[in-house]
Amino acid sequence: MAETKITMLTIKEAAALVDGLTEYRIRELCKSGQLPCFRAGKKYLINKDILYKFLSNNLSVQ
C-alpha cells in the first residue's frame, strides 16, 4: 500500500503560500469555522490540500 503524505501548515505558512491572504484573515477563517483546521496547543494547523480546495471553492467572479 502506498502511504499518503499529509501536509499540515501553520497560519504563518499558509499565509506565505497564498499571495493576498494575511495571517489575520486565515486566523479569522479558522476561528469562525469557515476553514477546516484543528488546534495543536495554541497553534491552528491547516491541511494543505483542504486549504487549496477551500480557496478554489470560494472563488467568485464579480
pLDDT in tens, 3-22: 888 999 999 999 999 988 99
Give residue 1's pLDDT band: very low, low, confident or very high (50, 70, 90). low
Question: Could you tell me if 14 and 21 are in contact, meaning their C-beta atoms sit under 8 angstroms apart?
Answer: yes
pLDDT of 26 reads 95
Strand positions, DSSP E, the chain: 8-9, 38-40, 43-47
Residue with cell 494575511: 22
pLDDT of 4 reads 84
**What ranges do the domains of the chain cover?**
9-57
Question: Could you tell me if 17 and 23 are in contact, meaning their C-beta atoms sit under 8 angstroms apart?
Answer: no
Give residue 62's pLDDT band: very low, low, confident or very high (50, 70, 90). very low
Q: How many angstroms separate the most distant Cα atoms in the chain?
A: 45
Q: Which of 54, 57, 6 is nearest to 30 (CA)?
A: 54
pLDDT in tens, 43-59: 999 999 999 999 888 75
